[in-house]
Amino acid sequence: MRIAALDDEQSQLELIRHTMNGIEHECHLYTEGKALLRDLRQQSFDLLILDWTLPDIPGPAVVKWVREELASRIPILFVTNRRDEADMVAGLAAGADDFMVKPIRVAELEARVRALLRRAYPSHHEVELQFGAYHFQPQSRTLQVNGEPIDLKHREYELALFLFQNLGRLLSREHLREAVWGRGPDEPSRSLDTHISRLRSKLSLRPSNGFLLSAVYGLGYRLEMVEASSLSAFSSASDDEEVQA
């Protein structure tokens, strides 16, 4: 992955670069916000690591520019001397994804960067996943059921993979929309319902096939594995039936 780090202290930048190189990421260093913004107009990065206090542009102003001007939602991590809760809230409100207080602890920095990249670019990190008859291959973005390929659109695949990765969890509508459509403007609520309905049909997510995709009224959706001994409990229930929380 290609990472940009912005800090007015060269020693901090060198530590960040050494840490990123150690986990096999390329790191480009900046000491001024204007230089980073200039390069962002022409280059692309997978993640930004920003200090808060800079000689030319405050870190939150850099974040605001990135969120307003760049089409892609690049993950942003603040690494700063500021430690008040109000600063953390302000940094996240500006559009940053995570907040880390100096002094830099190498293991913590590695963990936070890995988590951000894994969340932002799951296809770069996932291995093949098998859930009963459902076989996901994230690198090729394909899904097979009982060995047969299933034709899924981009967001249908993302939603299916996310549901299976969180098997058994109740996922709120906001969580699902954020995971599949990103953290931009709210996706119309019915779009999620439409995608859920399509997946039920295309993937045959029914108790008779070992999985139940149910709506929990007022909350969201849950994909569950159904044991053979429990099938009778669902024999008179519709697959589209909503259950009360």
When the candidates are 3.30.565.10, 3.40.50.300, 1.10.10.10, 3.40.50.970, the CATH number that belongs to 129-243 is 1.10.10.10
CA atoms within 13 A on the CB side of 4: 23
* Cα 244 to Cα 40, 172, 190, 196, distances in angstroms: 48, 14, 20, 18
Task: Give residue-wise pLDDT tens across range 125-143.
Answer: 667 888 889 999 887 889 9
Does 232 have pLDDT greater than 80?
no
Task: Give residue-wise pLDDT tens across range 72-81.
Answer: 788 999 999 8
55-69, 176-190, 226-240: least confident range: 226-240
Tell how far CA 146 is from the center of its chain.
28
When pLDDT is averaged across residues 158-163 and rounded to a whole number, the result is: 91
When the candidates are 3.40.50.2020, 3.90.420.10, 3.40.50.2300, 3.30.230.70, the CATH number that belongs to 2-123 is 3.40.50.2300
Query: What pLDDT, on a 0 to 100 scale, did the predictor assign at position 238?
Result: 43
CATH 1.10.10.10 range(s) for the chain read 129-243
pLDDT band at 184 (very low <50, low <70, confident <90, very high): low
What whole-number distance in Å separates Cα of residue 18 and Cα of residue 30?
15
Does 182 have pLDDT greater than 90?
no
Query: What pLDDT, on a 0 to 100 scale, did the predictor assign at position 124?
Result: 54
